[in-house]
Chains A and B, each alone.
Chain A
Amino acid sequence: MSYAINRVTVPVSVDEEKCIADKGCTVCVDVCPLDVLAIDLAKGTAYMKFDECWYCMPCEKDCPTGAVNVDIPYLLR
């Protein structure tokens, strides 16, 4: 069996200027009920790793610097 790669737009975006993951913050990653966010260790910022979003917003609300934005997934918009 072989696999194809499909591109998708993701609803959660992170402002890399504001994100303070490099200071030890993992709030958005911690609070996501679906565990779809992760920290990019090379960049020191959070990002959406899996397109499995419930647009529930704790990541945005709990972010201490207002770096996270949750949009409605494109399929629902």
Chain B
Amino acid sequence: MNTIEMEVDVLVIGGGTAGPMAAVKAKEKNPDLRVLVLEKANVKRSGAISMGMDGLNNAVIPGHATPEQYVKEITVANDGIVNQKTVLAYAQNSFDMIQELDKWGVKFEKDETGDYAVKKVHHIGTYVLPMPEGHNMKKVLYRQLKKRRVEVTNRLVATRLLLDSNGAIAGAMAVDCRTADFYIIRTKTVILATGAAGRLGLPTSGYLFGTYENPTNAGDGYSLAYHAGAELSGIECFQINPLIKDYNGPSCAYVTGPFGGYTANAKGDRFIECDYWSGQMMMEFYRELEGGNGPVFLKMNHLAEETIAQIEEILHSNERPSRGRFHAGRGLNYRDGMVEMHISEIGLCSGHSASGVWVNEKAETTVPGLYAAGDLACVPHNYMLGAFVYGKFAGESAAEYCATHTLPPVDAGQVERERARVWGPLNVTDGLPPSQVEYKLRRMVNDYLQPPKITRKMEIGLQRFAEVGEDLGRLSASNPHELMRAMEVHFIRDCAEMAATASLYRKESRWGLYHYRADFPEKNDEDWFVHVQLKKDDQGEMTCFTRPVDPYVIPLDEEEKTAYQKLRIVKESAIA
């Protein structure tokens, strides 16, 4: 096991969606910069879009939607708690990004004159741009990285960031999951693009890796940002999604919706007006699932043959292509049966909800030299296109920072402590296997944090997570691969503690099921119309505080504000 030192200007951690874009944009801004993408898997097939994507569901294209409309919808969908400037910055750059990706070779659906074919899913505007051939995403990104001469290291797990004496970024440390070599990377800037905390809750199947999110995304970046002293926001706004039961992948009502598919109860009746994923929608979903008309299904068996064939073609070749194999195994055909659905384990992900590292409209975090983009950066409902746009912001901002800053010195003490921590499990011969600790930890997350959230349960959860924290020193790893899993247990435990702490702090209910507190069941705008921030304080303790919601740049009228409160279908009329 060696220690390897490297030196760059911009270090991008995570080579999935936002990361490659950030690296390319930093290089574009200044080709002389040394830009390195550090990837835990392999950039060719890593991240949430490893198998591509079947469509954009937040495309803001002139003639179909306006940035103002989009900001309004996201403000409403996120119960008002948004920094509108960040959402607006996304919306204003959305179309340019689509055009640039198009030029790079990403395929969006077009009509026979080459114009984009946009469909509708949200309440007011039209945002869905299908990508029936969206499986080439990663190939396109990989080619751009090569063309711009971005350096890439695969199979490295970043474990901690290095800070200078002023608390600004000085570097990062990582471990190779095949050799256990320890890396010290000096850098002026770090861009975090590590995706969601997707291995937080345990799927009901009990299979550790049968998660909704790509399980490689274990919340690494949330933990890295936290220990670097960055502010995180909206952590209590969990990600919970409606999924195909057991398979635990998306049923993609937003893909099937425009074709006429919808979410139904056991009687085949619709019970929600809109299948767009939001906390309120999830609340109705949860009630129906647990109620007398449950469980919940995706219904397509009323559709015409050619429509179903088209849906199959899209759903079985993109994003989660093993869907078709799962249905075949159970003998289910969309034509004659409904697909049983369930709700996912909890996770943290701003791409779908709002929990992430706090960033402004330039992708800057509260730590100088540290930027964040994609699922882990707090820009609500940002999805894939938002990851690209904030990746671009982060790359450009980091390049600017490099122009006016020199490479800070590295503190030997930080390095020594981290190397000892990282290599620790290799020296424990008679310790705990990471998989067992992870299973127990994530089962506790389900037991104590899965909404409805209950104060006393979350307090007990915190106590259990602290006990697991005591166990971390006894983790043992028999090979570098297991060492990676051991380090991931650290990340997951940090995320669990953050999820409980932030949830306990916000003493009201908001975002439907995402933050439904059984003992504070009402929304309380008077006291809680604020962001809840979380960070590590000067004593090294986890602390929460509030941040006011900035005055809206796009005001909402009363009718617009309630759009997502009226999702449940009135029973008398739901007789379809």
Direct contact of A and B (CB under 8 A): yes
Query: Is the beta-carbon distance between B214 and A75 smaller than 8 angstroms?
Result: no
Query: Is the beta-carbon distance between B329 and A73 smaller than 8 angstroms?
Result: no
A52 proximity list for chain B (CB < 8 A): 208-209, 215
Cα–Cα, bound, A13→B199 (Å): 25
* Selected contact of B51 from candidates A1, A30, A50, A58, CB within 8 Å: A58
Among B42, B154, B322, the most chain A Cβ lie within 10 Å of the Cβ of B322
Convert B205-242 into 0s and 1s, putting 1 for each residue whose CB lies closer than 8 angstroms to a CB of A.
Answer: 11111110011100000000000000000000000000
- With contact pairs A35-B155, A54-B215 given, residues A72 and B329 touching in the complex (Cβ less than 8 Å): yes
Convert B17-48 into 0s and 1s, putting 1 for each residue whose CB lies closer than 8 angstroms to a CB of A.
Answer: 00000000000000000000000011011110
Among B51, B209, B215, the most chain A Cβ lie within 10 Å of the Cβ of B209
Say yes or no: is A21 at the interface (Cβ < 8 Å to chain B): no
Query: Is the beta-carbon distance between B50 and A76 smaller than 8 angstroms?
Result: no
Query: Is the beta-carbon distance between B205 and A76 smaller than 8 angstroms?
Result: yes
- With contact pairs A3-B433, A35-B177, A72-B329 given, residues A57 and B322 touching in the complex (Cβ less than 8 Å): yes
B484 proximity list for chain A (CB < 8 A): 35
Query: Is the beta-carbon distance between B210 and A1 smaller than 8 angstroms?
Result: no
Return B344 CB to nearest CB of chain A, in Å. Answer: 13
Convert A19-60 into 0s and 1s, putting 1 for each residue whose CB lies closer than 8 angstroms to a CB of B.
Answer: 000000000001111110000000000000110111111100
* Selected contact of A56 from candidates B51, B326, B481, CB within 8 Å: B51
A58 proximity list for chain B (CB < 8 A): 45, 50-51
Interface set, chain B 435-494, CB cutoff 8 A to A: 481, 484
Say yes or no: is A16 at the interface (Cβ < 8 Å to chain B): no
Query: Is the beta-carbon distance between B46 and A33 smaller than 8 angstroms?
Result: yes
Q: How many of chain B's residues have a CB under 8 angstroms from any CB in A? A: 37
Query: Is the beta-carbon distance between A72 and B247 smaller than 8 angstroms?
Result: yes
Say yes or no: is A62 at the interface (Cβ < 8 Å to chain B): yes
Say yes or no: is B320 at the interface (Cβ < 8 Å to chain A): yes
- With contact pairs A72-B247, A77-B329 given, residues A54 and B209 touching in the complex (Cβ less than 8 Å): yes
Among A34, A57, A70, A71, the most chain B Cβ lie within 10 Å of the Cβ of A34
Convert B40-64 into 0s and 1s, putting 1 for each residue whose CB lies closer than 8 angstroms to a CB of A.
Answer: 0110111100110000000000000
Sample 25 A-B pairs with CB under 8 A, ordered by A number. Answer: A33-B42, A33-B46, A33-B50, A33-B214, A33-B216, A34-B209, A52-B215, A53-B209, A54-B211, A54-B216, A55-B210, A55-B325, A56-B51, A56-B320, A57-B51, A57-B322, A58-B50, A62-B45, A70-B322, A72-B326, A75-B207, A76-B207, A76-B246, A76-B248, A77-B326
B residues neighboring A (CB under 8 Å): 41-42, 44-47, 50-51, 154-155, 177-178, 205-211, 214-216, 246-248, 320-322, 325-326, 329-330, 430-431, 433, 481, 484
The 9 closest A-B pairs by CB, nearest first: A31-B45, A33-B41, A58-B45, A75-B207, A55-B322, A33-B216, A52-B209, A1-B430, A76-B246
A residues neighboring B (CB under 8 Å): 1, 3, 30-35, 49-50, 52-58, 61-62, 70-73, 75-77
